[in-house]
Amino acid sequence: MKRPPTSQPTTSSGATAREDGVFNRRHFLVGTATSAVLPLSFGTTGVREAVTDAALPTQVPSSSVALLVNGRTHRLILDNRTTLLDALREHLALTGTKKGCDHGQCGACTVHLDGEPILSCLTLVASVEGRAVTTIEGLAQADGALHPVQQAFIDHDAFQCGYCTPGQIMSAVACVEGDRAGSDAEIREYMSGNLCRCAAYPNIVAAIRAAKTEVRS
């Protein structure tokens, strides 16, 4: 499992950051995005810090969230400030979605919410309750058949290091399915929120162009 359910980091974090003069939007949005655990599994590792355990219930505003990911509902108790990205990676072990900048600037964390691409690092998990989240792990069919966009990325070498690829593919699927792949220029514009530092852009555009034909047929 990802992050073991041990003790809880607790802090009046927003206040701390403000006092220190480094308060910014990111602290406000992200908060201590770590503390989520199901009470049932609490303490299973036997490693805990008395101080933080004791502090947990009163200081961390938590909520029970029903998260619908890739067609499956997960019930989690999470710090209200947990981002969707951290919930996916650290609590559901869905590590296909990547943390690139954690600022909403690189696109590596792109997932779908009710079919629309969103940046999971800027989305609070509490705000997506009851809505359908699709990650890169949920694109292929149950029998393992890849989505045409996934196959096109493979066929066209539309990646090098691969780290941005899940985010690229989620944006590309939205581009193709949302009928936004009318021309190379339109594809490039649509995809410009997803950085690829290896700059596999020519092949990404080629893959999307090919996938568009595939999806239509």
Partner 1 sequence: MNLHSAATAEPTTIRGGVHNTLAHDSAAKHATGAAIYVDDIPEPAGTLHAAPGLSARARARIKNIDLSNVRAAPGVVLVLTAADIPGTNDVSPIGAGDDPLFATEEVEFHGQVLFAVIAESHEAARRATRLAKIEYEELPALLTVDDALRTQSFVLPEHVMKRGDPVSAITHAPHRMKGQFRLGGQEHFYLEGQASLAVPMEDGDVLVHCSTQHPSEVQHNVAHVLGRPNNAVTVECRRMGGGFGGKETQGSQWAAIAALAAVKLKRPVKCRLDRDDDMIATGKRHDFRIDYEVGYDDQGRILGISFDHAARCGYSADLSGAIADRAMFHADNGYFFEAVQIRSRRCKTNTVSNTAFRGFGGPQGMLGIEEVMDAIARERGLDPLDVRRINLYGDAPRNVTPYHMQVEDNILPELITQIEESSAYRRRRQEITQWNRQNAYLKKGIALTPVKFGISFTTTHLNQAGALVHVYTDGSVHLNHGGTEMGQGLFIKVAQVVAEEFQIDLDQVKITPTNTGKVPNTSATAASSGSDMNGMAAQAAARKIKQRLTEFAAEKYKVTAEDIAFLPNRVRIGNQEVPFRDLVKQAYMGRVSLSATGYYRTPKIHYDRETASGRPFLYFAYGAAVSEVMIDTLTGEHTLLRVDILHDAGKSLNPAIDLGQVEGGFIQGMGWLTSEELWFDEQGRLRTHAPSTYKIPTCSDRPADFRMQLLENNPNREETIHRSKAVGEPPLMLAISAFRAISDAIASIANYRILPRLDAPATPERVLFAIEELQARMEAAE
Exactly one of 37, 165, 176, 211 binds partner 1 (CB under 8 A); which one? 165
Task: State the binding string over 42-71 for partner 1 (x if CB under 8 A, else -).
Answer: ---x-x-x-xx--x---x------------
Our CB check for partner 1 shows the closer of 4 and 182 to be 4
Q: Is 120 in the site for partner 1 (CB under 8 A)?
A: no
Our CB check for partner 1 shows the closer of 116 and 184 to be 184
Q: How many Å apart are CA 8 and CA 1, to the nearest integer?
A: 17
Q: Which two tokens stand for residue 29?
A: 């949005």
Q: According to the 3-state scheme, what is the secondary structure of the chain?
A: CCCCCCCCCCCCHHHHHHHCCCCCHHHHHHCCCCCCCCHHHCCCCCCCCHHHHHHHHHHCCEEEEEEEECCEEEEEEEECCCEHHHHHHHHCCCCCCCCCCCCCCCCCCEEEECCEEEEHHHCEHHHHCCCEEECHHHCCCCCCCCCHHHHHHHHCCCCCCCCCHHHHHHHHHHHHHCCCCCCHHHHHHHHHHCCCCCCCHHHHHHHHHHHHHHHHC
Exactly one of 116, 129, 157, 179 binds partner 1 (CB under 8 A); which one? 157
Q: Which stretch binds partner 1 (CB under 8 A): 69-77, 112-120, 124-132, 133-141?
A: 133-141
Q: Which stretch binds partner 1 (CB under 8 A): 66-74, 112-120, 123-131, 132-140?
A: 132-140
Q: Is 80 in the site for partner 1 (CB under 8 A)?
A: no
Q: Which stretch binds partner 1 (CB under 8 A): 63-71, 112-120, 126-134, 159-167?
A: 159-167
Residues in the chain: 217
Exactly one of 43, 80, 95, 180 binds partner 1 (CB under 8 A); which one? 95
Q: Is 2 in the site for partner 1 (CB under 8 A)?
A: yes
Q: How many chain residues touch partner 1 (CB under 8 A)?
A: 86
Q: Which stretch binds partner 1 (CB under 8 A): 25-33, 61-69, 70-78, 123-131?
A: 25-33
